Amino acid sequence: MTLFEFDGVPIRLHFTFFIIAIAYIIMGAFNLGLTGAVMAVTLISMLFGSVLLHEMGHAAMARRFGIGTRAITLHLLGGLASIEREPETPKEEIYIALAGPAGNLVLFVVSLPLMYFHLPGASDMALINAIMGIFNLFPAYPMDGGRVLKALLQMRYGVRKAKKISLQVTVASSIVLALVGLYLGWIGLLLVAGFLFILARAMQKHSTT
């Protein structure tokens, strides 16, 4: 579903985004009634804004290198800025990848003075963006940290070997995330770990055929 366009880029919601939104609202209403439902809607709105700014950071940096963005889509596991082509150099890849977490850092810094004045929701906004910014730097492809790792490896070993190593690191990282998710009981983290593992294994098989 297309919500609106920003600077010519369609902003879309995938149907899976509604799954997590509805689940949070139902859980909030079940635990705290109307107050819980309102709190859930507020948190979802903060999450929506944070993910959107993250992806807009990618799109804005890509544009600086002459790369357009077809659309920004928000889904169950976060967001995706669909750029029109891959960056031409590892340096471009690194800048585009880091622009997303940089957007979260901006929101985190903005939230700090609001927390000082005890503005409602400021601490939640700071926490969401701190977690999002740090988590996306995890060295697992295609997350931002994984893209940075692949670009750095490419500078030293070339495209083929960099891809091979980064996928190996992704498989190992996804297993670590799954173990942490099991230990903490975080279903969302298990979903992310499963997605990364399946994607990495599929890319490994594709590269060997």
Beta-sheet pairing, 9-13 with 69-75? parallel
pLDDT grade for 39, boundaries at 50, 70 and 90: confident
What is the pLDDT averaged over residues 74-92? 86
pLDDT grade for 96, boundaries at 50, 70 and 90: very high
> Among candidates 131, 128, 141, which has minimal Cα distance to 97?
141
Q: Exposed e or buried b for every residue in 137-161, given b needs 16+ CB within 10 A? A: bbbbbebbbbbbbbbebbeeeeeee
- State pLDDT tens for residues 139-162: 998 899 999 999 999 999 998 999
pLDDT grade for 20, boundaries at 50, 70 and 90: confident
pLDDT grade for 77, boundaries at 50, 70 and 90: low
- State pLDDT tens for residues 173-185: 999 999 998 988 8
As annotated, the active-site residues are 55
Which residues fall within 8 angstroms of residue 29, CB to CB, at 6 or more apart? 36, 37, 40
